[in-house]
Structure 1
């Protein structure tokens, strides 16, 4: 097998890309997703995200895998926070940036980070050798380019075993995900809550109705230009409230509606027929991935309805088994989202910093395990 580097998706081309990733509908593996990031200006240019994709091929040039990596000049949009590491480098007179992330930009979604026809679902133990080989390749690239590090973000649990004996640090964090246990509908789902928690959930949903709000789910293929414009206004308003600007351009969302609309779900909230809020999700045959949300007015419990309950209903109706609503957020627990571990791998070139960061990751992991145990006890489900 051999590897070739590219800094634009067009250099690989849609046909070779799709052949390399094989029979997967994982949204974040698709050529269309990465092309939209580039062509919309959401990566590249002055964004601080500089693509360097690896195409893995058999000796006869048959494409068998895509590995998305990015040189970064900052740590924004990653959701595995390493600003303290960058600060430590600066205090000791070293340069942390540029670094490399092996990740899907702006998407804290656990999944495969080698998109390969050899293992389209990313679950095979046999793929560990491929991850280890790519890790070696990135370490070599780190030395050649004199960058500080590489970081594999939101990888699957079994993948970390490929790096357990390498000079790389394994980092643990916690998210909250929903799992479908053959629920017939959302009322059947809520019946699995304790009486008090079930009453609270139903009260939240009723509050939305009492404020004159109603919600509607729409697939990307059925959206109007006005609806996309409204969603983008909501998306930017979420960042604007924190004095920031959203990472993704309007052109990114517009292009995805054209190229991946069948894998996009939007939830719109109306009051008196006027749009007031929207959330954006991706989905495949297995899971729903909640990504972006915003509202132009504040309404009690609307966030819970638009971002959680509506997604749960969609999963049950479509037979999806898993709902990943995004990173962080203990408020998800009361709605039945369970704590799950997420994993990342970090190779630090400087040996002194490598040892310090490795010790930090081990200490942090102990705290994360305790946090996982504590939040599990707060789930709303009946005791069995």
Structure 2
């Protein structure tokens, strides 16, 4: 690229950004099919904004950043000014407490992220051919915005490993976390997957599936136009129950699911447990090009093992049937290990304006990474797979 100047702009909303230009950076691969993941597409982020799930009063204030050259958008990032640390799933509460105990003001901070979505994907969205230039421009622009406004910090969460390594070269701090993912090893069907497990784990999963499927009703999977407004009415009840118990207040508004019905239904797989003509439990997944992303679960009736069936085993069934490479089951949960989901590293990047605080966090992250690397190694060794299968995977 020549020395043509790059213009960096912060936007208070997506309405001022060309949808085609954004998606040319966020999901250029969608020109010949499904995007790698739907979470940074214009339609997903716009649904969050239009539904009031982000914006005034939510603690997620949009400040989307774009980089343009001669009027063409070459890069973009979903940037938010955050008034708290909720809905991020990579936790910095201890950093906030330490910063404020030392007399500083941690919030607002800047966050490059997909709100309420602990799924790995590109956060520095670049048009093909501008990968290095675009990311560099976005990082410099976001850091400059933070510095000019005396904002304590900038964070990019659930970025790809490649982005994390590139960001580290630019001087950002690299943090490693952990999730549990299921990987499709070319299984022909669910029984093929079970055959790769140890005898005890295989029997346990079969027992759980039999128990769950005997709850007294039917399990259905819906996507696209199969999902109707009444299904969202039911799922909203499930989501509220889970949100109230986990977070105190649900992150998404009811209107988000109406927006989803309009613009995102082809990106979603809704699994419902139906009994006596009504839904009593459900799990919502988002569909990527080769990954199924488990996102939300809830119920109005408790039935043994139904959570495992709807969230984990039905997702595996779908992934195998559609030739998908993996299932990401969301944040946390070592109970996923016994069900074929193995630990993998997640990545984030961090910048702090205060040099002393930056050095303290850097020291903490070195120790944290050693602990997480060790934990992933240990947990993997305790996985449910037959030893010969584990050796073949390594």
Write out per-residue CA displacement over residues 135-183 of structure 1, whole angstroms, 9 at most, x where no aligned residue. 2222211110110000010111122222334443211111001111111
Q: Distance in 2 between matches of 1:63 and 1:138?
A: 16
Is 1:67 paired with 2:67? no
Q: Distance in 2 between matches of 1:153 and 1:257?
A: 27
How does 1:181-330 map onto structure 2 within 5 Å? Answer: 181-242=185-246, 244-330=248-334
Aligned alpha-carbon RMSD (Å): 1.5
- Aligned partner of 1:38 in structure 2 is 49
- SS of the equivalent of 1:293 reads strand
Once the two structures are TM-superposed, the CA of residue 133 in structure 1 deviates from its matched residue by 3.1
Instruction: Indicate conservation of the 8 Å contact 2:74/2:134, yes or no.
Output: no
Q: 1:243 to 1:363 in 2, by over 3 A?
A: closer
Once the two structures are TM-superposed, the CA of residue 272 in structure 1 deviates from its matched residue by 3.5
Once the two structures are TM-superposed, the CA of residue 310 in structure 1 deviates from its matched residue by 0.3
Moved more, 144-153 or 10-19: 10-19
- Aligned partner of 1:82 in structure 2 is 92
Q: 1:64 to 1:168 in 2, by over 3 A?
A: closer
Once the two structures are TM-superposed, the CA of residue 185 in structure 1 deviates from its matched residue by 0.8
Q: 1:347 to 1:319 in 2, by over 3 A?
A: same
Instruction: Indicate conservation of the 8 Å contact 1:293/1:307, yes or no.
Output: yes
Instruction: Indicate conservation of the 8 Å contact 2:125/2:135, yes or no.
Output: no
Q: Distance in 1 between matches of 2:382 and 2:218?
A: 30
Q: 1:164 to 1:63 in 2, by over 3 A?
A: closer
Q: 1:268 to 1:361 in 2, by over 3 A?
A: same
- Aligned partner of 2:122 in structure 1 is 112
- Aligned partner of 1:123 in structure 2 is none
Aligned length, in residue pairs: 377
- Aligned partner of 1:10 in structure 2 is 15
Q: Distance in 2 between matches of 1:210 and 1:226?
A: 24
Is 1:343 paired with 2:347? yes
Once the two structures are TM-superposed, the CA of residue 210 in structure 1 deviates from its matched residue by 2.9
Q: Distance in 1 between matches of 2:8 and 2:170?
A: 21
- Aligned partner of 1:49 in structure 2 is 60
**TM-score normalised by length of structure 1:** 0.94
Instruction: Indicate conservation of the 8 Å contact 2:295/2:329, yes or no.
Output: yes
Q: Distance in 2 between matches of 1:146 and 1:232?
A: 39
Q: 1:328 to 1:243 in 2, by over 3 A?
A: closer
Q: 1:84 to 1:144 in 2, by over 3 A?
A: same
How does 1:132-143 map onto structure 2 within 5 Å? Answer: 132-143=136-147
Instruction: Indicate conservation of the 8 Å contact 1:220/1:266, yes or no.
Output: no
Question: Quick one: which of 21, 24, 34 aligns to 1:19?
Answer: 24
Once the two structures are TM-superposed, the CA of residue 85 in structure 1 deviates from its matched residue by 0.7
Instruction: Indicate conservation of the 8 Å contact 2:173/2:349, yes or no.
Output: yes
Instruction: Indicate conservation of the 8 Å contact 1:112/1:156, yes or no.
Output: yes
Moved more, 15-24 or 315-324: 15-24
Instruction: Indicate conservation of the 8 Å contact 2:218/2:274, yes or no.
Output: yes
Is 1:102 paired with 2:102? no
Q: Distance in 1 between matches of 2:230 and 2:51?
A: 19
Q: Distance in 1 between matches of 2:134 and 2:24?
A: 17
Write out per-residue CA displacement over residues 239-268 of structure 1, whole angstroms, 9 at most, x where no aligned residue. 223471111001111111211211110000
Once the two structures are TM-superposed, the CA of residue 13 in structure 1 deviates from its matched residue by 3.1
Instruction: Indicate conservation of the 8 Å contact 2:67/2:138, yes or no.
Output: no
Q: Which runs of 5+ in 2 are unaligned?
A: 1-5, 389-394
**TM-score normalised by length of structure 2:** 0.92
- Aligned partner of 1:122 in structure 2 is none
Q: Distance in 2 between matches of 1:297 and 1:241?
A: 15
- Aligned partner of 1:127 in structure 2 is 131
Moved more, 159-168 or 140-149: 159-168
Write out per-residue CA displacement over residues 70-110 of structure 1, whole angstroms, 9 at most, x where no aligned residue. 00010000001000111111211110000000111111111
- Aligned partner of 2:392 in structure 1 is none
- SS of the equivalent of 2:115 reads coil
Q: Which runs of 5+ in 1 are unaligned?
A: 120-125
Once the two structures are TM-superposed, the CA of residue 128 in structure 1 deviates from its matched residue by 4.1
Instruction: Indicate conservation of the 8 Å contact 1:172/1:341, yes or no.
Output: yes
